[in-house]
Amino acid sequence: MPEELAGRLRPGARVAVPFHRRKLAAFVVRGREAAPEGVTRVFRVAGLLEEEPIFPAELFAFLEEAARYYLHPLGEVLRAAAPALPTGALRRLKAGGFLATGETLPGRKVAHVKALFATRTESEAPGRLGTRQRALLTVLEERGEEVPLAELRAHVREARSVLRGLADKGLVVLEERETLADPFFGKPVAREPPPKLRPAQAHATGVLCRALGEETPGAFLLHGVTGSGKTEVYLRVIAEALERERGALLLVPEIALTPQLVHRFRARFGDALAVLHSALGERERDDAWRRLRRGELKLAVGARSALFAPVPELGVLVVDEEHDGSFKQEEGFRYQARDMALFRAQRAGALCVLGSATPSLETFERARQGRLGHLSLPERATAQALPPVEIVDMRRQRRTPSGHALLSGPLDGAIRNCLDAEDQAILFLNRRGFAPNVRCTSCGEAVECPTCSVTLTEHRRQGVLRCHYCDYAQPRPDRCPSCGADALESLGLGTEQLEGMLAERFAPARVARLDRDVATGRSVEAVLERLRRGEIDLLVGTQMVTKGHDVPGVTLVGAVLADQSLAFPDFRAAERTFQLLSQVAGRAGRGERPGRVLFQTFLPEHAAIRAAAAHDYEAFFTSERDEREALGYPPFGRMVAVRVDAADEARARHTADELARVVRGLAVHRSGDVMVLGPAAAPIARLRGRYRFRFLLRGRQLRPVRHAAQAVAARIDAGIGNARAVVDVDPVSML
């Protein structure tokens, strides 16, 4: 450590270090008086990259513990949590090898863009207007507020020149101003007063606000049915934390799918919040991170990785839709944000709130055992009750009015009635593309991905067959690649095909689609905004349509294939099915008019489908809990997955066997405290050209399972040749 940096290199600081004639960024973990035994050469730290430690003490200690729990290298954990290093930062260090006292790297500014906004005036339109001029006036009159040019371009060509013509006639006012590049701050939001709370909301808010004032606030499950007003409880508790000059952090499953939630936060707290999401550029993310670190902002909203935001004086940490599987990071640092939120809040002396209409079994069991406080919102915040659900037995739907096997008579009629009443409908099908496979009717072979052991999905509008795992794509062949016959047929139903079928069946209804193929980044909000404005009659989508959208005009929801996710090779398949169906059913009837829901299924007696149709979480939990407890699956046991892959199948199998033998030689295995399940080929046996094997470690208690996992991790660190292996603590995906 250079003398000039004495007293400035603290744990959590980011520094430059020499490495093979260049500099790399590194993190200070701790200091020591002398070099470790056997080290003969020590390099000097080349410079300090930020004046203050990039991680405050509370966050740094949490990240160290998270690295230990998930058996992941600390350096990679810190890198995942830190903001990106400004371009050229390492080159800008002083020639002497350190920054002068008080010197910092050049500051960054949030990117702004020039945006043109149009507002309708009170002037009466003359009789002669062009078609495009009338179209834009209609949009402005329907909205009754200023509309950005970027949005008007979706309605007419050359919208800017058309607007100028309207402005010359005195019919619109144009204003150009700078706005944040962040789509969540694209236009101003009027402040809104808090609404009146219902009794259950008031009780939950009171309990949580009182907990904020305690030395150990603890953690709570806020279990509220869809539409029960959980967000309003979050807002009240966060407002209380900010009033006490404490920071607040809200985690959501996917920020791009919850624009309404960000809108509500801005309406309550103004723009003094950081919204951390993947649509931000590196510069904007860096600016938000640093403003939190400096204490300029005390409130952050974001997806999974926002867990690592340096919120100052953290007072409350909320995890909305805590059951959602996207809170688990599946690559690199494989952490579960929900579980780590509980841990971070505990370490920081903050209140933790886990909210959901369909809590994970792990969370609900914690609450049942008293390890979490349990607050309930059993009714919707509006006057409407939960919508009735009709189960349609597809085994009896041999002939359908539409002629398509997966659009039953009851659903077909319900859509027709919904459209006749000028209401809106959502159809849920968790399978994107036109058809899930293309198969030869002559030889029976399906067209498969050349590098993955899965069939290619047809995307007809793009004219390709695509792998949904490695993104390989090829044109749809004219003949069977296996036998050469002209007998390829598209089998199954995807959202693209369903969209086209509905548009033809219910013309002139306006049909749109929301899935990963058509909605990315800002286009997600564009589709949802059209739905809210009533410009879409039928919305077809994957699980993206289940995520917390509140659209009063939606009175009908149909799950086209409700039992589809039950076929996954995963002990959580029933739980995920129940959650998806319950969440999508909750999109219906949230306005003044009552809703209706239909589940089409070939398994009408399945407990998950029955419980979701009855809006009965307790019934599902009881039946699923009994099965899990008998088998020792979470929440009644602990699991670790060890996954191995290699370019050669024999090598992958041998490495998996070798790692499994490490555990079988341990005392915890011989005593029966840890079971080894496998190794076996993974359900997707080949992915991106590599063969995959896995085995599971399972036990009733955490300590022996962790001991076994540590032994496997140590063996991997010692070297396993050209194979790769990862240790996944508390796995979520079984694929």
Looking at the fold, whether 560 and 420 belong to one and the same domain comes out as yes
CATH classification at residue 37: 3.40.1440.60
| pLDDT score at 605 | 95
CATH classification at residue 565: 3.40.50.300
| pLDDT score at 582 | 95
Looking at the fold, whether 144 and 209 belong to one and the same domain comes out as no
668 falls within a domain:
yes
- Mean pLDDT, rounded, of the chain: 88
Has residue 347 got a pLDDT over 80? yes
Q: Which domain holds residue 719?
A: 638-729
Mean pLDDT (whole number) for 634-652 = 95
| pLDDT score at 251 | 96
Looking at the fold, whether 583 and 612 belong to one and the same domain comes out as yes
Looking at the fold, whether 31 and 120 belong to one and the same domain comes out as no
**How far is Cα 539 from Cα 419, in angstroms, rounded to an integer?**
12
Looking at the fold, whether 126 and 149 belong to one and the same domain comes out as yes
Considering only CA atoms, which of 114, 115, 170 is closest in space to residue 137?
Answer: 170
**How far is Cα 452 from Cα 472, in angstroms, rounded to an integer?**
9
CATH classification at residue 680: 3.30.70.360
Looking at the fold, whether 254 and 347 belong to one and the same domain comes out as yes
**How far is Cα 506 from Cα 589, in angstroms, rounded to an integer?**
22
In this prediction, what percent of the chain has a pLDDT beyond 90? 58
Mean pLDDT (whole number) for 36-59 = 88
Looking at the fold, whether 241 and 292 belong to one and the same domain comes out as yes
Mean pLDDT (whole number) for 722-732 = 95
SS (HEC) of 160-171: HHHHHHHHHCCC
**How far is Cα 2 from Cα 42, in angstroms, rounded to an integer?**
12
| Stretch among 3-17, 50-64, 181-195, 395-409 having the lowest mean pLDDT | 181-195
The dihedrals phi and psi of 204, each to the nearest 5 degrees, come to -65, -40
Asked if 353 contacts 320 with a C-beta cutoff of 8 angstroms, the reply is: no
98 falls within a domain:
no
Looking at the fold, whether 213 and 341 belong to one and the same domain comes out as yes
**How far is Cα 537 from Cα 524, in angstroms, rounded to an integer?**
17
Q: Which two tokens stand for residue 519?
A: 């909605």
Domain boundary among 65, 81, 97: 81
Looking at the fold, whether 402 and 546 belong to one and the same domain comes out as yes
541 falls within a domain:
yes
86-113 pLDDT tens trace? 666 677 665 444 443 334 444 444 444 4
Of the pLDDT bands very low, low, confident and very high (cuts 50, 70, 90), residue 387 is very high
What is the side-by-side strand order in the sheet with 690-699?
675-687, 690-699, 638-646, 724-729
Cα dihedral 18, 20, 23, 25 sign: negative
442 falls within a domain:
no
Name the domain count of the chain. 5
485-526 pLDDT tens trace? 999 998 888 999 999 999 999 999 999 998 887 766 556 777
Query: Which string of DSSP letters, residue by residue, matches 550-584?
Result: --TTEEEEEETTTTGGGGSSSTTHHHHHHHHHHHH
pTM of the full structure: 0.85
